[in-house]
Amino acid sequence: MYKILTKEMLSPAICRMKVLAPRVASSAHPGQFLIVRVNEHGERIPLTISDFDADEGSVTIVTQKIGASTKEICALEAGECFEDVVGPLGLPSDFVEKLDGELAGSRYIFIAGGVGTAPVYPQVKYLKAHGAYVDVIIGAKTAGLLIYKEEMAAVCDHLYVCTDDGSEGFKGMVTGLLEKIVLEDGNRYDQAVAIGPMIMMKFATLTAKKLGLPIIVSLNTLMVDGTGMCGACRVTVAGKTRFACVEGPEFNGYDVDFDEAMRRQGMYRREEIEEDHKCKIR
Amino acid sequence: MANKIPRVPVREQDPKVRAANFEEVCYGYNEEEAVLEASRCLHCKNPRCVSACPVSVKIPEFIAAVAAHDFETAASVIAEDSSLPAVCGRVCPQETQCEGSCILGVKGESVAIGKLERFVADWSREHGAKKVEKAQPNGHKVAVVGSGPAGLACAYDLAKWGYEVTVFEALHKPGGVLEYGIPEFRLPKERVVAAEIADVKAMGVKIETNVVVGRTVTIDSLFDKEGFSAVFIGSGAGLPRFMNIPGENLNGVFSANEFLTRNNLMDAYRDDYLTPVMHAKKVVVVGGGNVAMDAARTALRLGAEVTIVYRRTEVELPARREEVHHAKEEGVEFRMLSNPVEIIGDEKGWVNGIRCIRMELGEPDESGRRSPVPVPGSEFEIEADSVIMALGTSPNPLIARTTSGLETTRRGCLVADEDGVTTRPGVFAGGDAVTGAATVILAMGAGRKAAAAIDRYIKSL
């Protein structure tokens, strides 16, 4: 059992939890994920790691209510427990492998969408600690859905915000804001990283390509075990089938077949709607 | 003469009924049936069944005890060599091992050794028969990676000899393939698997779930930070193989591992569990091993019409004979000498068929089996809304990649000798992680040999 130390709602549909999982906390790196199970009857739900503290033995996860299982997660309170927490899973971000001196002075731009903003945070923190220059774009439909603004502003060089409806910051999509920052404001970057909904990562990649900017994306595919055993997470990258859980979750955006990845994400939509419906009438 | 008695048939669920439920297919022998079947054993002076058993269970000895109505003795005879008899009695390929060597099988039918083993194990569990004695703790710690058959067998022996054993399991439930791979209707989870694991725990073995060795901890950290004197790797053969044909990433195409894990480990077939599974109408399963049979029979129970496509003939099917027989009885269709060339999808990216080519058997390959060759121009299509690939697995590279000094073969298997000794001192390995996909009993045998080697290694330090 893995105790929830703190819980807060970041928006009506997004919650942040700090969970006691000492083994995960002491091995975690930016870019990795973990899998939780609420109870004996629950699904194994992959979530990106939003922060980790080896001394405290805690990991931070951010969950958005989407289906039956994520609603169950968000219904848990501090003091309650997850039945299971396993991780860290997947490969750390590429930059974790780089030598200390290599990162100093490199210029990163992060493009974060919705709940995908949370896992950007440990990456920015790591890069800043290793001397990189880091700007961050956070996008959401509307101001009320923006998360991690203060946290991100505290660690990055420059924070840009955009909302689809213009209720806060730049009015428009992250892609529009990225183009503006690079083309109009004249900012130059060595590397872009996009984490968010698959559709956002697809278009962020197209924009990055147009700008001649290399881009890494973090794929939130379907998973069961998360250790390479089932292949539910397979994605086509550079024409080859790869397992996002063990060979990812981060890949070169240029190489990812996003249309296939989006189609595969919807594989159990019908079953999920039924499950969700059942829960409501229970 | 004893061998005049025909082999006692085992009671099973009616095929029509069981094709729609997940209850165990085989009911097993009752006491009377077991005693009668046991009386058929000739008690050969030189029992070939024992040497054909990967863990050398003293078969004539336990059968003699069954014949004498002394089931408790039978259980303790088996327990000397096997830590998972209720499992092995159900899933071993007896026809190629003990029963395949039984002298009675030459002219008639072999003794039903598997069914007798199962009877003794079930009887012993239900009657709480006395278990094997445990030695005094010797103060040495051994880590076991993976709680499948290899790891459990290794842990059980080491604990029996007084070692402090911790098993690290990546999933949330112990059992490995017994839990995620083999379906409930063949191997009941609560009644059999959980009970056998409880026996291993009762021996003092600690099982820590949710630890992925290579990620959560490493082999090095187990030695350096956690004070283990030796490590046994029984991490299994995890990665599913695909064919690399067009259409394999369409919606509705699954590895058998995914399909079975959803059903077995995650209980997706039950309404009260949240994990979804596709309830397809027409399923094609590609492959001819036990895993293919398990996937086919699971899909059938979820309401599908099921066809197994296999590139060789029935003679070459690697599955246990009993599984093929059961699958046929339940209504699974077999299309032999057929090999998929493409999976066909609809405009939305979902499977709606599979294109195969007919095969004929050519010259024997290095495995001695005649290798199938395609018949030009013989393509045909089978309608399907789901395709399950049961083509075997390859070892998970995670541990080898994160452990220095641990060599692997070209196929990614860990290099280890007969006793499980790897290229790194103090690290032992066995089961599918070494051999590639094989059987429960071979993994168990490897776990036991490695346990003995670990004992010798630690005593030599």
* CATH value at residue B227: 3.50.50.60
Given a cut of 50, the residues of chain A with pLDDT beneath it are 279-282
The pLDDT assigned to A268 comes to 87
Q: B134 falls in which pLDDT band (50, 70, 90)?
A: confident
B249 shares its domain with B372 = yes
| Cβ contacts of B14 within 8 Å, gap of 6 or more | none
Residues in chain A within 8 Å Cβ distance of B238:
227-229
B219 shares its domain with B154 = yes
The pLDDT assigned to A276 comes to 58
Query: Residue A54 phi/psi, 5° resolution?
Result: -65, -35
Residue B136 within any structural domain of the chain: no
B376 shares its domain with B432 = no
The pLDDT assigned to A272 comes to 65
The pLDDT assigned to B301 comes to 97
The pLDDT assigned to B187 comes to 97
Instruction: Count other Cβ atoms within 10 Å, centred on residue A198.
Output: 21
pLDDT in tens, B221-279: 999 999 999 999 999 987 899 999 999 999 999 999 999 999 999 999 999 999 999 99
> Closest Cα to residue B313, out of B280, B345, B336, B287?
B336
Residue B193 within any structural domain of the chain: yes
Single residue among B354, B389, B424 that ends a domain in this structure: B389
Nearest to A268 among B212, B265, B276 (CB): B276
The pLDDT assigned to B395 comes to 85
The pLDDT assigned to A280 comes to 43
Q: What ipTM was assigned to the predicted interfaces of this complex?
A: 0.93
Query: Residue B398 phi/psi, 5° resolution?
Result: -55, -45
Q: How far is CA B16 from the centre of its chain?
A: 26
The pLDDT assigned to A282 comes to 38
Cis peptide upstream of residue B374 (ω within 30 degrees of 0): no
The pLDDT assigned to A281 comes to 42
Residue B231 within any structural domain of the chain: yes
Residue B172 within any structural domain of the chain: yes
Residue B308 within any structural domain of the chain: yes
Decide: B358 and B337 in contact? Cβ < 8 Å: yes
pLDDT in tens, B12-56: 999 999 999 999 999 999 999 999 999 999 999 999 999 999 889
Decide: A201 and A216 in contact? Cβ < 8 Å: no
Identify the burial level of B365 via C-beta atoms within 10 angstroms of its C-beta, where 0-12 means exposed, 13-18 middle and 19 or more buried.
Answer: exposed
Decide: A40 and A10 in contact? Cβ < 8 Å: no
Single residue among B337, B357, B389 that ends a domain in this structure: B389
Instruction: State how many domains chain B has.
Output: 3
Mark yes or no for CB contact A85/B238 under 8 Å.
no
Fold of A94-218: Rossmann fold (3.40.50)
> Closest Cα to residue B115, out of B33, B182, B52?
B33
Residue B146 within any structural domain of the chain: yes
B249 shares its domain with B385 = yes
Compute the average pLDDT of residues B306-330.
95
B354 shares its domain with B266 = yes
Q: Where are the domains of chain A?
A: 2-89, 94-218
Residues in chain B within 8 Å Cβ distance of A68:
274
Decide: B181 and B238 in contact? Cβ < 8 Å: no
Nearest to B216 among A24, A43, A267 (CB): A24
B248 shares its domain with B352 = yes
Give the percent of chain B with pLDDT over 70.
Answer: 98
Nearest to B258 among A232, A266, A275 (CB): A232
For chain B, state the CA radius of gyration.
23
Strand A33-37, strand A84-89: pairing: antiparallel
pLDDT in tens, B341-362: 999 999 999 999 999 999 999 8
Q: How far is CA B51 from the centre of its chain?
A: 20
Q: Which domain holds residue B378?
A: 239-389
Decide: B235 and B213 in contact? Cβ < 8 Å: yes
Single residue among B101, B126, B151 that ends a domain in this structure: B126
pLDDT in tens, A14-28: 999 999 999 999 999
Nearest to B257 among A41, A230, A275 (CB): A230
Mark yes or no for CB contact A231/B257 under 8 Å.
yes
A68 touches chain B (CB under 8 A): yes
Compute the average pLDDT of residues B70-74.
96
Residue B133 within any structural domain of the chain: no
The pLDDT assigned to B219 comes to 97
Residue B461 tokens, joined: 């330090």
Compute the average pLDDT of residues B190-212.
94
Residue B411 within any structural domain of the chain: yes
B307 shares its domain with B427 = no
Q: B81 falls in which pLDDT band (50, 70, 90)?
A: confident
Smallest CA–CA distance, residue A99 to chain B, in Å, is: 19
The pLDDT assigned to B82 comes to 86
- Report d(CA B213, CA B172) in Å as an integer: 14
Give the percent of chain B with pLDDT over 90.
Answer: 88
pLDDT, averaged across chain B: 94
CATH code at position B94: 1.10.1060.10
Q: B364 falls in which pLDDT band (50, 70, 90)?
A: confident
Mark yes or no for CB contact A229/B262 under 8 Å.
no
A230 touches chain B (CB under 8 A): yes
The pLDDT assigned to A274 comes to 62
Residue A161 bridge partners (DSSP): A138
Nearest to A246 among B261, B266, B398 (CB): B398
Q: B394 falls in which pLDDT band (50, 70, 90)?
A: confident
B297 shares its domain with B190 = no
Compute the average pLDDT of residues B53-81.
94
Angle, CA of B228, B230 and B231, to the nearest 5°: 95
Compute the average pLDDT of residues B290-302.
97
pLDDT of B1 over the 80 cut: no
Does pTM surpass 0.90? yes
The pLDDT assigned to B396 comes to 85
The pLDDT assigned to A270 comes to 72
- At the top level of CATH, the class of A2-89 is mainly beta
A37 touches chain B (CB under 8 A): yes
Q: B131 falls in which pLDDT band (50, 70, 90)?
A: low
pLDDT in tens, B409-445: 998 999 999 999 999 999 999 999 999 888 999 999 9
Biggest alpha carbon distance in chain B? 69
B214 shares its domain with B193 = yes
Best of B173, B190, B212, B272 to substitute, by most chain A Cβ atoms within 10 angstroms, is: B212
Best of A85, A225, A265 to substitute, by most chain B Cβ atoms within 10 angstroms, is: A225
B122 shares its domain with B198 = no
